[in-house]
């Protein structure tokens, strides 16, 4: 493969799809050398095939708001690659959702899912629906309208959606209810379900917990311990919550959280009460963190700013794509950051990643660090197939094991002659190799 030519062709075919092109460029650039050692990949045009989704659905979602006005949104499902298992990936409800964002997420999901060791292909979907300020009834009617279109494209053995930004347990419940009514079946067609209808223990915590388990492996490799480390977390949603909870439990001091309105600096560090309050902030549906300062005096709110200016040992972006810029990275490095564990999907801009790699700071990419979420979705699918539930300890033990094996795969493919571990390269090559081999063995389809 020639990455330059391939990217030029993709840019011609998909102009302006910047997030998608960014994600593809990163993966192809890091796997190029390993890829070119496999003439069978080139002969089968694996690179050209893997960067295009298998198929994409776009549909109209019409619903009625509380005032009685008719609302129209766009819904999407992008089935990217199912070479190693059924399409699998979340649904995002956010006004920024567009085909470029969902294609980047679906593309990343292919390799992330391959890393989990479980049989899951890559997909993503969602809508430009904005949950901010919507009532419970509006969210329910939107979810029902969304599913009346989506249901014909998904199934427990074909495509299994889950949550992402703006889609949590409540939305999954409403989506599942409508699917069940339309399909006349009760199956594991969605993951992240409630515990009374097939959900898995630990799934709500899994993305954040898994990220901290991965971080612990990174720390161990550097001869460090998580106890006493100062951590900057961005975001305040499900992922940030899980990461803050586990990091705090293991003795780290989480000093920031953030929202679209700015960030909170809490010198004393988070504790159980503050972590529980993150759930309240989320449930308020306002998408702001400022009320934290009123609730917990001693903390400070910095309007319109990001937490990367705070002096910390560890940075964990947990909000959204491209949230950490080249300048943010330079500031973190200047302040002596020791490890960066990216929990959001593609949270770091390419210039930020370059900055960390140049400074030889271990940087764990989202597709490795946050894979515990979808891995536990895979474990939910297994439990649904078996029609039984595992205990929290059983699920957590499996999550531990999976994060350990992802870390091992990163070391195998990402350790440089100097001993520095390029986790991005390791994760990309390990995930890519598995999918590429399986595509070769299954023929040109
Ligand atoms: O980005 C992700 O991996 C997710 N939003 C979770 C996907 C899933 O199927 O659990």
User: pLDDT for 133-146, tens place per residue?
Assistant: 999 999 999 999 99
| 124 among known catalytic residues | yes
Question: Among 200, 204, 196, 212, which residue's Cα sits nearest to residue 167?
Answer: 204
Which 8-state DSSP code applies to residue 151?
G
**Residues 356 and 329: beta-carbon distance below 8 Å:** yes
Map residue 122 onto helix, strand or coil. strand
Q: Tens of pLDDT along 52-89?
A: 999 999 999 999 999 999 999 999 999 999 999 999 99
Atom of ligand 1 nearest to the CA of 192: 10
How far CA 342 is from CA of 156, 290, 363, 369, in Å, comes to: 30, 24, 7, 6
Strand order of the β-sheet with 70-81 is 55-64, 70-81, 121-127, 87-93, 159-163
Give the residue-averaged pLDDT of 25-34. Answer: 98
For 261-316, the pLDDT digits (tens) are 999 999 999 999 999 999 999 999 999 999 999 999 999 999 999 999 999 999 99
The span from the CA of 403 to the CA of 371, in Å, is 8
Q: What's the whole-number average pLDDT of the chain? A: 98
Please name the residue ranges forming H helices in 322-370: 326-334, 350-358, 366-369
* Interval 97-117 mean pLDDT: 98
Please state, as a whole number, how many other Cβ atoms lie within 10 Å of the Cβ of residue 297.
6
How large is the angle between the packed helices 169-183 and 136-150, nearest 10 degrees?
40
- What letter would DSSP give residue 188? -
**Ligand 1 site residues, Cβ closer than 6 angstroms:** 88-90, 112, 162, 164, 191, 345, 373-374, 377
In testing the pocket of ligand 1, which one of 77, 104, 109 has its CB within 8 Å of the most ligand atoms?
109
> How far is ligand 1, taken at its centre, from the CA of residue 377, in Å?
8
The answer to whether residues 131 and 285 touch, using CB atoms and an 8 Å cutoff, is yes
To test ligand 1's pocket by mutation, which of 122, 175, 377 has the most ligand atoms within 8 angstroms of CB?
Answer: 377
Question: Best mutation site among 77, 115, 164, 378 for ligand 1, i.e. most ligand atoms within 8 A of its Cβ?
Answer: 164
Distance (Å) from CA 107 to ligand 1 centroid: 12
CA 317–ligand 1 middle distance (angstroms): 16
Distance from Cα 197 to the centre of ligand 1, integer Å: 19
- Cβ atoms of 343 and 316 closer than 8 Å: yes
Backbone angles phi, psi at 305, to 5 degrees: -115, 165
At 69 the pLDDT is 98
**Confidence (pLDDT) at 163:** 98
Ligand 1 atom with the shortest distance to the CA of 345: 1
**Residue 139 CA, ligand 1 centroid: distance in Å:** 20
Amino acid 273: pLDDT: 98
If you search the block for the tokens 């972006």, which residue do you land on? 317
Average confidence (pLDDT) over 242-246:
98
What's the pLDDT score for residue 122? 98
- Atom index in ligand 1 nearest the CA of residue 109 equals 3
What is the pLDDT, as a whole number, of residue 274?
Answer: 98
pLDDT, average across residues 218-229? 98
Position 6 confidence tier, pLDDT thresholds 50, 70, 90 = very high
pLDDT tens string 176-196: 999 999 999 999 999 999 999
CA dihedral (81, 23, 308, 264) in degrees, to 10, reads -40
Decide: 116 and 380 in contact? Cβ < 8 Å. no
pLDDT of residue 45: 98
Give residue 52's pLDDT: 98
Share of the chain above pLDDT 90, in %: 100
Q: Under a CB-based contact definition with an 8 Å cutoff, are residues 435 and 81 in contact?
A: yes
**Nearest ligand 1 atom, CA 89:** 9
The arithmetic mean of pLDDT across residues 320-348, rounded, is 98
pLDDT band at 325 (very low <50, low <70, confident <90, very high): very high
User: What pLDDT shows up at residue 255?
Assistant: 98
Under DSSP, is residue 374 helix (H, G, I), strand (E, B) or coil? helix
> Which residue among 124, 274, 367, 425 is the active-site one?
124
């Amino acid at each position: 493969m020639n990455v330059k030519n391939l990217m030029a062709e993709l840019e011609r075919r998909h102009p302006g799809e910047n997030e998608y092109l960014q994600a593809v460029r990163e993966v192809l650039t890091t796997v190029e050398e390993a890829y070119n050692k496999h003439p069978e990949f080139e002969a089968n045009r694996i690179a050209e095939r893997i960067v295009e989704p298998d198929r994409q659905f776009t549909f109209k979602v019409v619903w009625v708001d509380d005032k009685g006005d008719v609302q129209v949104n766009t819904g999407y499902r992008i089935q990217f690659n199912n070479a190693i298992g059924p399409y699998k990936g979340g649904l995002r409800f956010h006004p920024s959702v567009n085909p470029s964002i969902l294609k980047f997420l679906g593309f990343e999901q292919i390799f992330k899912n391959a890393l989990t060791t479980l049989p899951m292909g890559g997909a993503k979907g969602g809508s430009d629906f904005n949950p901010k300020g919507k009532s419970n009834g509006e969210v329910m009617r939107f979810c029902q309208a969304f599913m009346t279109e989506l249901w014909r494209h998904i199934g427990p053995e074909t495509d299994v959606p889950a949550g992402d930004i703006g889609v949590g347990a409540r939305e999954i419940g409403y989506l599942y209810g409508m699917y069940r009514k339309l399909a006349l079946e009760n199956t594991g067609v969605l993951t992240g379900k409630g515990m009374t209808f097939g959900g898995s223990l630990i799934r709500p915590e899994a993305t954040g917990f898994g990220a901290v388990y991965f971080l612990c492996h990174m720390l161990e490799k550097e001869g460090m311990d998580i106890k006493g480390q100062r951590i900057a977390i961005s975001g305040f949603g499900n992922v940030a919550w899980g990461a803050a909870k586990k990091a705090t439990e293991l003795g780290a001091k989480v000093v920031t959280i953030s929202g679209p309105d700015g960030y909170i600096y809490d010198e004393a560090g988070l504790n159980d009460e503050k972590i529980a309050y993150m759930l309240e902030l989320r449930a308020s549906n306002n998408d702001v963190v400022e009320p934290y300062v009123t609730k917990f005096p001693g903390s400070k709110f910095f309007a319109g700013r990001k937490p990367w200016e705070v002096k910390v040992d560890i940075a964990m972006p947990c909000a959204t794509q491209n949230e950490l810029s080249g300048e943010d990275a330079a500031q973190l490095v200047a302040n002596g950051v020791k490890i960066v564990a990216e929990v959001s999907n593609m949270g770091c801009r390419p210039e930020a990643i370059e900055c960390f790699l140049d400074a030889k700071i271990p940087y764990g990419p989202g597709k490795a660090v946050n894979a515990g979420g979808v891995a536990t979705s895979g474990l939910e699918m297994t439990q649904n197939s078996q029609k039984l539930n595992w205990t929290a300890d059983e699920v957590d033990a499996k999550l531990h094991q999976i994060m350990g094996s992802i870390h091992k795969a990163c070391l195998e493919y990402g350790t440089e002659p100097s001993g520095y571990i390029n986790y991005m390269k390791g994760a990309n090559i390990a995930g890519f190799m598995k999918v590429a081999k399986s595509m070769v063995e299954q023929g040109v389809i």
